[in-house]
Amino acid sequence: MAAQGLAGRAPRPASAMAQERRRAAAGGRLIEQWRRWAPVVVLIGLCLVIGAFNANFFSTGNLVRLLNSAAIPVVLCMGATFVILMGSIDLSVEGVVALAAVVASLLVANDVTAIAIGHLAIVPALAVGAALGFLNGWLHIRLKTPSFMTTLGMGFVGLGIATAILGGVTVRISDQSFRYLSLGRPLGVPMAVWVAALCVVVALVIQERTRFGRWVYAIGADEVTARQAGVPVERTRILAFVIAGVFAALGGVLAAAQFGQGHALIANGRLFTTIAAVIVGGTALSGGVGSVLNSVIGVFIVVVLANGMVLMGIPPYVQQGAQGLLIIAAVALALDRSKLAVVK
Amino acid sequence: MSDAVLEVEHVSKAFPGVKALDDVSFRVNRGEVIGLIGENGAGKSTLLKILNGVYQPDAGAVKVDGRPVRLLSPRQAFDSGIAMVFQEQSVLSTLTVAENIFLGREQEFLRWGLIDKRRMNAAAAVELKKVHLDIGPATPCARLTFAERQMVEIAKALSLDSRIASDITILLDEPTSVLESREVELLFSIIRDLKARASIVFISHRLEEVLAICDRIYVMRDGKVVAEVPAAEATVHALHTHMVGRQLHHEYYREQRQSPPGDEVILRADGLGKAGAFRDVSFELRAGEVLGIAGVIGSGREELARVLAGHAAPDAGALTVHGRPVRLAGASDAVANGIGLVPAERKVEGLVAQFSVAENMTLSALGRFASRGVIRFAAERAEAARWVERLHVRTPSTAAMTGGLSGGNQQKVVLAKWRIAGVEVLILDHPTRGIDVGAKEDVYELVRDITADGLAVILLGDTLDEVIGLSSRILVMRDGAVTATFDAPAGGKPEQVRILEHMV
Amino acid sequence: MTITTAAGGIARRSFLKGAAGLGAAGVLGAPFIVRAQDATWTLANSMRSVANPYHATFAKGGEEFAKSIGATYEVLVTEGNSEKGIADIKALLQRTGGKLILNVDPNDSPDARTIVEEVQAAGGFVVTQWNKPDDLHPWDHDPNYVAHMSFDGVPNAEAVANALFAAFGGEGGVVALGGILSNVPAIERKLGLDNAIAATGGKVQLLDFQPADWNEQKAFDITQAWITRFGDEIKGVFAANDGMGLGALEALRQNGLAGTVPVVGIDGIDAAVAAIEAGEFAGTVAWDPFWTGSMGLAIPYAHATGKIDITKEPHEHREFYGTGIVVTKDNVAEYKANPPQTDFNDLWGKATGQIQYRSA
């Protein structure tokens, strides 16, 4: 009795089970592949449709312009992706971008202050971003308030400081070598695009090859398990917000270079674009799924759509509706992905 | 120099109002597989949490390799050589196999501050070989079956072996409760292999399995160790007795309450089929009958249950209820026609964990407790209280959150829900999975109560024994077809072997 | 089951308790302030935010006037939130016991009605700027609703559009960036542009119009797309405000077109004026926020102190447009040398006429 044991003895040979597993996996893999590639497919589809309407879409000039429009959003999304992968959210983007832009513009040759430290101004701007990011993470951990609330508050703090420093004045940058960050064209490609590309590479390395990147995914998937495995959850969380702050600050520096100005309103509207791009690209708001590359695709989908609607002459009233539909479709796709997780 | 790899000495732990562990001692020797059994509430999970570093004992000591250790976190326990493989899987599906195995321990593979994936995958491959798992270390865990994930967890535990000096102990918490027999056999052969490298503590409710794989068995009851028996000398019967503290009769399945079915045909299936799952299934279900469906994974019985419950539509055949043909377009259609499903995944599909007992019980029949759209709470509470008493649900009150009840009591709440909703046919999908012996008996009692009231039950049992013991008729399925039908009247039950012939 | 650390829990609790305490102190402290302000008028300007140059100067105008008469002055900021704007005004009315002279640029038109009613009930005086419902008139709320000031977007936009056309020789295609479609200024300025284009008899065509919501990044992206779509056909860019104009200018710059393709904007901010000097902007319209910020207080103050009786003033002194100055390269030097002066005693010197209601 003891030896016989269980409900039904005769176990099937290993090969049959392996076969069954492969069959199940193949079906599952197909669906999973489609969902993983869906954002790319959407992007290619968009490009083809727009190109059919207006072949100028594919001209070198326009492609360069698209890259230019995408540069700052990509930089912002790199940081935001880590926070969202962890299952949190960072709503302070606009505040950090504004403050960093204001700080940078006041420290290069400008019409308000006598300071002119040239490219060195980037360092304090990034430091500001890191500091705000650190506060985001630290308050979130210490006060145990949802990241939604702490970052929202921090965003207002950043905007408030920027406004208080300037008092409504717009700083005009006269340092042309600083503006090279936006206007320069090494090898015919705008400098901002090079900076954004570098950011993508750095973010990718962080995501794939560092322990921090691994831990972000683990925390996003299942914080309890991650903690039990010895992952330093609190430290990782704070670091993620710091990184997001630094990327946002870099975005602010690029914006200041792009417009040759620093003012508190320079960040208006960027929060929505950033979050929308991350989600449209396929990173789930619930965390654990996604990647910085997904966010890059997401940014391009948003930018190409906006560009395309103007190229195709779509009435302005319809454009907002189209963008809204895009967000809904992207979220629907993302939701389905989580349903596929093994429930048994 | 003792042979003991892990020792628990006179450990006690109390929480406000309850003494969870009372002077518990046991030891695990090198290369042994120790079974740890006991009803829910016996103290097993508290003991495991102490060994896993989540709790600290109030008194007594834990020793590894003869040295006392203080385990202040799961990570510390792990680094001391105690690895736990959980009942609810802790494999992160969004990471790869290698990433899961070395989660939190990546510093071993750093090169210039970055993780060397090639080295990590190679190390993972070594661990995977130890558990005979034939999958690539870079496979995303989302693609693995349940059993394969179990193996990854074990590989993770085993990876301690080559990395720490002391001997390791692996705690397996209910590892087989969701595995099918084939997978369980595989697990057992791996455990036998593991004995050379690690000692194992095997916690399970499935007594036959415990006897099959363990060398020694500890039985816990009410926070104490009440028995320690070598497996060779033990029987299921004896173990049961130790666990519940009372004699277990062959009346375990309440055979004496099994009555012959009535005449009225409630449900009839004619040539039901679903592409890729099953074909040509026909049967008649009468009032008071328990129809057991026996079959291994892939036999189609789970899919048949879902079709009967209205969760999926059949591709062929017809279903009639009380002579009326019905098309079930969803679960609500099924309920409207008097068919309810008690699912295997209670927490996911049967209960709303945040709802109270009363709220869950009335969920499917809220209309009866509402006048003009407003819920009458007093009526709801009264009905729930009636059923709590009738089914002996152990809950502080009808307002208690169902998520906090034990598995067996949750199952009773689900059953009560369907009774209140007035279903006539109850489909029970693995109703006693993960429930301890005492609660299982309550469930069997319930099944007899239900049939005595004139309802009919379709049963997908946890074990073949259960199917045979409870059913009045048995349908055997294999590879999507019905291969045999057996009558199973009280006192005239068919033998396991005869049924197995048609199952596998 | 995780065990939360006691330390984290306590810190949060005491922080929240402290915050609650501060809030309570603030509420309790309020009555004490009222007594101090009892006798004299308090002056206040309310606007969206001080982060933009127009409103920053608007606030400054009020401050200078208050200084000139030695009165207390406050700045209220709505942050784009109507409820906050109204709540702040109510609180200030209470604090000052109704002795408040308010110069408000409401966040949205409907807010004006609520604000006027509140001020009237408390016995204060109010002047509104830019946004109000068409059927709300100062003369229906004598004497508390003193005046409504605005600038006529239509003729000013038309004038600056003409400056644009002149800059590229009067023939060709233009693209236009609009503000938020539902804003009255956005509607007026589009109308002005349309009038200017119609008046050219077909010599100038509108290639495309896109709302950029007063946002320079949007203006940048849209202009880039236009460059792809229309290329050389674009002879000029019309922007309903300077912010968007500057965004469009940067897009042109990235494509080597800054200075070649002229841009016009509206608002008269420093950066736009500098761009006119640099030859990159063809023109802008300077409102006079210093004037609106100060006269919006001076006029009601004159009534409150008995210098004038507002109820006897004609309608064109109750609802009137101010003077916009079209700045182009022809007059930019002079404009910078002689910025508009404001004489606090010349109440209606810069009024250009009664406000008209167009169903736009």
Q: Which residues of B touch C (CB under 8 A)?
A: 49, 54
| Contact by Cβ (8 Å): C147, C319 | yes
**Is A329 contained in some domain?**
no
Phi, psi at B164, each rounded to 5° = -125, 160
Of A26-30, A104-108, A267-271, the poorest mean pLDDT is in: A26-30
Residue C51, SS3?
coil
Distance of CA C359 to the CA centre of its chain: 21
Partner-chain residue, chosen from A142, A266, A307, that has the shortest CB–CB distance to C225? A307
The reply to whether residue A142 touches residue C8, judged by beta carbons under 8 angstroms, is yes
The average pLDDT across B63-71 equals 88
Is the pLDDT at C309 greater than 60, yes or no?
Answer: yes
% of residues, chain B, pLDDT over 90 = 16
Q: What is the DSSP letter of B347?
A: I
Starting at the earlier edge strand, list the strands of the sheet with B265-274: B278-286, B265-274, B316-321, B324-326
Residues of C near B (CB-CB distance < 8 A)? 1, 3
CA–CA distance, C245 with C258 (Å, rounded to integer): 12
pLDDT-derived band at B178, boundaries 50, 70, 90: low
pLDDT of A297 over the 50 cut: yes
Q: Among the three residues B224, B249, B274, which one is the final residue of a domain in this structure? A: B249
DSSP A34: H
Same-domain check for residues B414 and B427: no
Highest mean pLDDT among A23-32, A44-53, A283-292: A44-53
Asked if pLDDT for residue A105 goes beyond 90, the answer is yes
Collect all residues of chain B within an 8 Å Cβ-Cβ radius of residue A7. Answer: 181, 462-465
Contact flag B146-A217 (C-beta cutoff 8 Å): no
Percent of residues, chain C, with pLDDT higher than 70: 88
Cα separation of B360 and B417, whole Å? 7
- What does the alpha-carbon distance between residue C244 and residue C337 come to, in Å, rounded to a whole number? 26
pLDDT grade, residue B388 (50/70/90)?
confident
Contact in structure between A239 and A124 (CB atoms under 8 Å):
no
More confident residue, C218 or C131: C218
Closest CA to B266 of B415, B409, B453: B453
Which residues from B are below 8 Å from A21, CB to CB?
145, 148
Q: Is B243 exposed, middle or buried (0-12, 13-18, 19+ CB in 10 A)?
A: buried
Chain A within 8 Å of B185 (Cβ-Cβ)?
yes
> Phi/psi zone of residue B427: left (φ > 0), alpha (ψ -120 to 50 degrees), beta?
beta
- Is residue B131 within 8 Å of B151, Cβ to Cβ? yes
- Is the Cβ pair A6, B184 closer than 8 Å? yes
- Distance (Å, rounded) from C-alpha C297 to C-alpha C101? 7
> Cβ contacts (< 8 Å) between B49 and chain C: which residues?
1
- Residue B368: per-residue pLDDT: 76
- Per-residue pLDDT band for A315 (boundaries 50, 70, 90) equals confident
Residues of chain C contacting B75 with CB distance shorter than 8 Å: none
Return the partners of chain B (3 or more C-beta pairs < 8 Å): A, C
Q: Which residues of A touch C8 (CB under 8 A)?
A: 141-142, 144
B502 vs A203, more confident: A203
φ/ψ of residue A141, rounded to 5: -75, -50
Rounded Cα distance between B254 and B249, Å, is 9
Question: With 50 as the cut, is the pLDDT of residue B94 above it?
Answer: yes
* Number of Cβ within a 10 Å radius of residue B30: 16
Calpha distance B460→B427 (Å, rounded)? 8
B414 and B440 housed in the same domain: no
Per-residue model confidence (pLDDT) at position B349: 60
Min CA distance, C7 vs chain B (Å)?
18
Q: What is the mean pLDDT of chain A?
A: 84
**Digit-coded pLDDT (tens) for A152-186:** 999 999 999 998 898 778 888 888 889 988 888 89
- In 3D, which of B226, B231, B233, B212 has the Cα closest to residue B44? B226
Helix (H, G, I), strand (E, B) or coil at B199: strand
pLDDT at B3: 78
- Same domain for B285 and B396? no
Determine, yes or no, domain membership for A321: no
Beta-carbon contacts below 8 Å between A and B: 133
Residue B362 host element (H or E): none
**pLDDT higher than 90, residue C9:** no
Evaluate if residue C10 carries a pLDDT over 70. no
Q: Is the peptide bond before A73 cis (omega within 30 degrees of 0)?
A: no
Lowest model confidence (mean pLDDT) among A26-40, A242-256, C255-269: A26-40
* CB-CB under 8 Å, A159 with C224: no
- Check residue C39 and give its pLDDT: 54
CB neighbours of C348 closer than 8 A, spacing ≥ 6? C317, C320
- Mean pLDDT, range B56-68, rounded to an integer: 89
pLDDT band at B245 (very low <50, low <70, confident <90, very high): low
Same domain, B413 and B443: no
Give the per-residue pLDDT at B276. Answer: 80
- Closest-approach residue (CA) in chain C for A311: C229
Place B402 in a pLDDT band, splitting at 50, 70 and 90: confident
The residues facing C103 across adjacent strands are C45, C127
CB contact (8 A) between residue C228 and residue A69: no
Measuring CA to CA, which residue among A89, A145, A127 is closest to residue A271?
A89
Burial of A112 (0-12, 13-18, 19+ CB in 10 A): middle
**Domain-embedded: residue A136:** yes
In a domain, B377, yes or no: yes
Establish whether this prediction's ipTM goes over 0.90.
no
Please determine, for residue B411, whether its predicted confidence score (pLDDT) is greater than 60. yes
Residue predicted with more confidence, C272 or B396: C272
> What global pTM score does this model have?
0.72
> Averaged over B132-152, what is the pLDDT?
85
Query: Residue A61: inside a domain, yes or no?
Result: no
- Please check whether residue C224 is in contact with residue A61, taking contact to mean a CB–CB distance below 8 angstroms: no
Contact C173, C204 (CB under 8 A): yes
**Is the CB of B233 inside 8 Å of chain A's CB atoms?**
no
Give the whole-angstrom CA distance, residue C261 versus residue C257. Answer: 6
**Residue B305 lies in domain:** 261-338+423-504
Query: B250 pLDDT band (50/70/90 cuts)?
Result: low
Residue A136 identity: N
pLDDT computed for residue B499 by the predictor:
81
Residue A333: the pLDDT is 67
Smallest Cα distance from C4 to chain B, Å: 12
Answer yes or no: do B43 and B178 share one domain.
Answer: yes
Distance of CA B232 to the CA centre of its chain: 25
Alpha-carbon distance A128 to A121, whole Å? Answer: 11
The answer on B207 and B152 residing in a single domain is yes
* One-character DSSP codes across A264-314: GGGGTTHHHHHHHHHHHTT--TTSSS--HHHHHHHHHHHHHHHHHHHHTT-
Tell me the shortest Cα–Cα distance from B158 to chain C, in angstroms.
Answer: 24
> Which of B 325-344 lie inside 8 A of A, CB atoms?
none
CATH 3.40.50.2300 residue spans of chain C: 35-151+289-322+342-354, 153-286
Q: Which of the four pLDDT bands, split at 50, 70 and 90, describes residue C29?
A: very low
Domain assignment present for residue B483? The answer is yes
Query: Mapping DSSP to helix (H, G, I), strand (E, B) and coil, where does residue A231 land?
Result: coil
Average pLDDT over residues A187-216: 92
With a cut of 80, say whether residue B115 has pLDDT above it. Answer: yes
Q: What percent of chain A has pLDDT over 90?
A: 49
What is the mean pLDDT of the segment spanning B410-431?
Answer: 84
Cβ-based contacts of B104 with chain A (< 8 Å)? 218, 226, 229-231
Domain tally, chain A:
1
| Three-state secondary structure call for residue B472 | coil
CB B272 within 8 A of CB B281: yes
Evaluate whether A289 touches A75 at the Cβ level (below 8 Å).
Answer: no
In percent, how much of chain B has pLDDT > 70?
A: 93
What's the pLDDT score for residue A299? 95
Taking the CB of residue A192, how many other CB atoms lie within 10 A of it? 26
C54-87 confidence digits (pLDDT tens)? 888 899 999 999 999 889 999 999 887 889 999 9
Contact check, Cβ <8 Å, B103/A8? no
**Averaged pLDDT for residues B448-467:** 85
For A183, the domain range is 71-267
Average pLDDT, integer, range B405-409:
73
Kindly give the pairing relationship between strand C204-211 and strand C263-264.
unpaired
pLDDT band at A1 (very low <50, low <70, confident <90, very high): very low
Domain boundary among B218, B249, B280: B249
The sign of the dihedral angle between the CA atoms of B9, B10, B16, B18 is positive
Residue B246 has pLDDT above 80, yes or no: no
Are B203 and B226 in a shared domain?
Answer: yes
CA atoms within 13 A on the CB side of B442: 22
Same domain, B411 and B431: no
Total of domains in chain B: 3
Separation in Å, CA of C3 to nearest CA in chain B = 9
B314 and B429 assigned to the same domain: yes
Given B184, B206, B345, which is nearest A343 (Cβ)? B345
What confidence tens digit (pLDDT) does each residue in B329-385 have?
Answer: 877 788 888 898 887 665 556 677 777 888 888 877 777 777 777 778 888 888 888
Residues B172 and B41 in one domain: yes
DSSP-derived pairing of the beta strands B374-375 and B425-429: unpaired
Residues B267 and A147: their CA atoms lie apart, in Å, by 54
**Nearest by CB to C229, which of A255, A259, A311?**
A311
Nearest-5° Cα angle at B335, B331 to B340? 85
In whole angstroms, how large is the CA radius of gyration of chain A? 23
Whether A241 is covered by a domain: the verdict is yes
Whether the CB of B117 is below 8 Å from some CB of chain A: the reply is yes
Instruction: Tell which residue, B256, B174, B264, B160, has the closest CA to residue B210.
Output: B174
DSSP B427: E
C153-286 has which fold? Rossmann fold (3.40.50)
Query: According to the model, what pLDDT value does residue A336 have?
Result: 54
For residue A310, being part of any structural domain is answered with no
Do residues B157 and B239 both lie within one domain? yes
pLDDT confidence of residue A18: 42
Q: Would you call A170 and C270 a contact, using CB atoms and an 8 Å cutoff?
A: yes
Please tell me what DSSP assigns to residue A162.
H
Instruction: Provide long-range contacts, Cβ within 8 A and 24+ apart, for B356-359.
Output: B356/B398, B356/B399, B356/B400, B356/B401, B356/B402, B357/B384, B357/B388, B357/B393, B357/B395, B357/B397, B357/B398, B357/B399, B357/B400, B357/B402, B357/B405, B357/B413, B358/B383, B358/B384, B358/B385, B358/B398, B358/B399
Identity of the residue in C181, C243, C274 whose CB atom sits nearest the CB atom of A172: C274
Q: Residue C337's pLDDT band (boundaries 50, 70, 90)?
A: confident
Cβ pair A265:C52 closer than 8 A:
yes
- Average pLDDT of the residues in C25-29: 45
The H-or-E segment that residue A68 falls in is helix A60-85
Both structure tokens of A128: 């500001």
For the domain that residue B310 is a member of, what is the CATH number? Answer: 3.40.50.300
pLDDT at A5: 32
Whether the predicted pLDDT of A188 surpasses 90: no
pLDDT band at A10 (very low <50, low <70, confident <90, very high): very low
* Residues written for chain C: 360
Angle at C95 between CA C90 and CA C99, to 5 degrees: 85
By residue count, chain B amounts to 504
Between C234 and C36, whose confidence is greater? C234
Q: Do C208 and A310 touch (CB under 8 A)?
A: yes
Residue B132 sits at the chain A interface (C-beta within 8 Å): no
First to last CA, chain B: 49
Q: Taking the alpha carbons of B377, B382, B384, B388 in that order, is the dihedral positive or negative? A: positive
Non-local (6+) Cβ contacts of C356 within 8 A are C152
Q: Is B145 close to A5, i.e. CB distance below 8 A? A: no
Question: Is C35-151+289-322+342-354 a domain of CATH 3.20.20.150?
Answer: no
Interface of B with A in 462-501 (CB under 8 A): 462-465, 500
User: Which of B216, B249, B282 is at the close of a domain?
Assistant: B249
In this structure, are residues C164 and C152 in contact, taking their beta carbons and an 8 Å threshold? no
pLDDT at C282: 94
Is residue B142 left, alpha or beta, with left meaning phi > 0 and alpha meaning psi from -120 to 50? alpha
Q: Please tell me which of the candidates B231, B298, B503 has its beta carbon nearest to residue A8.
A: B503
Tell whether the model's pLDDT for residue C21 goes beyond 50: no
Question: What distance in Å separates residue B274's CA from the closest CA in chain A?
Answer: 17
pLDDT of residue A126: 97
Residue C2's pLDDT band, with cuts at 50, 70 and 90, is very low
Supply the mean pLDDT for chain B: 83
Residue C1's closest chain B neighbor by CA?
A: B54
Q: Residue B187 — very low, low, confident or very high, per pLDDT cuts 50/70/90?
A: confident
Contacts of B88 in chain C (CB under 8 A): none
Question: B288 and B235, same structural domain?
Answer: no
